[in-house]
Structure 1
Amino acid sequence: MSFLAPPGYQPIYGPTIPYLGPIFGGLREGSSIYIQGSIPENITRFHVNLLCGESESSDIALHFNPRFDGWDKVVFNTFQNDCWESEERIHNMPFCKGEAFEIVIMATLQGYQIRVNGNDFYNFQHRMPLERVCAMHIGGDVFIQTINVIGGACMGGGMGGGFPGVGMGGGFPGDMGGGMGVGFPGGGMGGGYPGGMGGGMGVGFPGSALPGMGGLPDFNPMVPYSNVIPGGFFPKRTVIIRGMLPFGADRVSINFMMSGSRDIAFHISVRLGEGIVVRNSMFGGSWGSEERELGFNPFMEGQFFDMSVRCGNHRFKVYVNGQHLFNFCHRWRSFNEIDTLEINGDVQISYIHF
């Protein structure tokens, strides 16, 4: 099954490991790489490499390598001129066997700031110019749910596509559906490298038909969360909410509101105890009719989620983890009056991006 990105948003969902793919436009100061996944109980080690070329043998600007070997540690290094350089070892393991994780790699002027599960972990100083980084390789004992680059050097950032010679829907042997990403020169439509399960829908190059994400994300906001939606809602406006539902979570509510009246134009209620996702609206203090039908429910305790809410002329379209979940028809004639996002309940938010 191919997992496609919602319009205007370019993550990679469920890539086969080992994963090798481009970072379109490269990185720049302020770019962030989000990786969500889980590790098995019998893990030995896994790695995330930021590459300076299109192959696994390319120079490595950042080698991030958690090792479970009886002396649990995380190793950082670089690789150039066919040689590994001096290791930096951290004897503090932020990952737990059998559990989900989120890694954030933030590119700064000085180096790479690494966060794991919302906590600062390590700063790795640059040994190679940031602008050389153009690809990513992930391997070892790990399952990856999503990869996303925010603030890439091209408009919209993002990842996806395939390397040279990848054909339509293709990728190399074992590919399970390429999505509609664009590869490096010579690449066709779709495809990751070995076995990629979705290249992302568009890459956000300047001139791309798909809208890019504007402004800076709101990283790790506190819940309850309430903030103004900059510029309000309009057709094709997309809001990205990425977070994690801790074990024991019961309910989460996401409200798109009019701040003056406190009316709720679009209410999403994730009820984990009941296994349902309720949609509704509230005007003048009165709730409307609930909508509950779903083909599947992607929300689970202890799991990360990646939600995209896109405003259309007649309805909201909601995607979760790369799959279309439901539509909600506008019940308020002037959806451009929606100016506030509120989030409440049992949830940890990684970032919100308008």
Structure 2
Amino acid sequence: MWTSSGRFQQVNLLHCSDVVLHVNPRYENGHEYVVHNTLQNGSWGSEERAEECPFPRGKPFALQIFVTHEHYKISANGKPLWEYKHRVLFSRVDSIHVSGMVDVNLVLVQFPEPLYAPIPGNFRIPYKSIIYGGLYAGKTIVIQGLIYFHAKSLEVSLRHKTGVAFNYHCHFDKNVVVLNNYEKGEWGEPEQHDEMPYTSGQHFQMTICCSNNHYTVFASGVEVHTYVTR
């Protein structure tokens, strides 16, 4: 996660002098876009352009790079931006480089399957933690773990002192996802979806992206549900 103080130049995943993945937002004559490329043996390959630039100058943002066997799935603020097919084995990446006019406040390297190394903090279930500073537009929550075999449900709640602003409840036994809120001692009208993006017995990655008027939920970088704030 990075916070932009103006505009930043590039994020590179490196192997020695090669750039395995190059992510380069550009702002040229009112045209904003993002270039993706690879540098091997001193030569750049063909550019791939995303004709949008979701990195507003002067505002915080989150850049996420999800690695699969075939692609880098690149997201900005929880929204998919680009899929970049591997040109160099991703296992060769040994460093990350960020440059330009940017304040870096967090860089996480996560290993979704399996998690061999211990993670700092207490992640016993049910897990509860304070979100210091609260939520605001552009803030992103990433939850990653393993769903047990024969699990009946997975539930995430964003709470405040007197209620639940957003409850995201996956019912594996019914194969539905229910979205709701809890205010003044009562649950609101539930929103039920038949699309179940998670599977019991599998690793998962859930991203919740906050905007001014809704929460957007992504599963492994793919948008699956949107909930208008109440």
* TM-score of the alignment, normalized to the shorter chain, above 0.5: yes
- Check the 8 A contact 2:20/2:38 in 1, yes or no: no
Q: Give structure 1 stretches of 5+ with no counterpart.
A: 1-7, 10-22, 27-50, 55-133, 137-159, 171-175, 182-188, 197-202, 332-354
CA distance in 2, matches of 1:292, 1:204: 41
Q: Give structure 2 stretches of 5+ with no counterpart.
A: 3-10, 22-34, 50-69, 76-82, 91-96, 109-118
Displacement of 1:322 = 1.1
Counterpart position of 2:219? 320
Corresponding residue pairs, total? 163
Counterpart position of 2:152? 250
Q: Which has the higher strand share?
A: 2
Counterpart position of 1:167? 46
**Residue identity matched to 1:298:** P
- Check the 8 A contact 1:270/1:278 in 2, yes or no: yes
Counterpart position of 1:274? 174
**Residue identity matched to 1:167:** S
Q: 1:180 to 1:252 in 2, by over 3 A?
A: closer
- Check the 8 A contact 1:316/1:327 in 2, yes or no: yes
Aligned CA RMSD, in angstroms, stands at 3.8
Instruction: Please give the per-residue CA displacement for 1:260-302, whole angstroms capped at 9, x wherever unaligned.
Output: 22x00100001111111110001112111111125x3221111
Matched position secondary structure for 1:225 = coil
**Residue identity matched to 2:228:** C
- Check the 8 A contact 1:316/1:328 in 2, yes or no: yes
**Residue identity matched to 1:323:** V
**Residue identity matched to 2:45:** V
CA distance in 2, matches of 1:224, 1:272: 18
Instruction: Please give the per-residue CA displacement for 1:8-65, whole angstroms capped at 9, x wherever unaligned.
Output: 69xxxxxxxxxxxxx9366xxxxxxxxxxxxxxxxxxxxxxxx5453xxxxxxxxxxx
**Residue identity matched to 1:312:** S
CA distance in 2, matches of 1:290, 1:243: 26
Counterpart position of 1:340? none
Displacement of 1:180 = 6.0
Task: Work out the percentage of aligned pairs sharing the same amino acid.
Answer: 20
Relative contact order (alpha carbons < 8 A, sep ≥ 6): 1 or 2 greater? Answer: 1
**Residue identity matched to 2:38:** F
**Residue identity matched to 1:163:** T
**Residue identity matched to 2:190:** E
Q: TM-score, normalised by structure 1?
A: 0.39
Q: TM-score, normalised by structure 2?
A: 0.58
CA distance in 1, matches of 2:45, 2:122: 37
CA distance in 2, matches of 1:287, 1:301: 27
CA distance in 1, matches of 2:129, 2:107: 14
Instruction: Please give the per-residue CA displacement for 1:128-150, whole angstroms capped at 9, x wherever unaligned.
Output: xxxxxx869xxxxxxxxxxxxxx
CA distance in 2, matches of 1:239, 1:168: 31
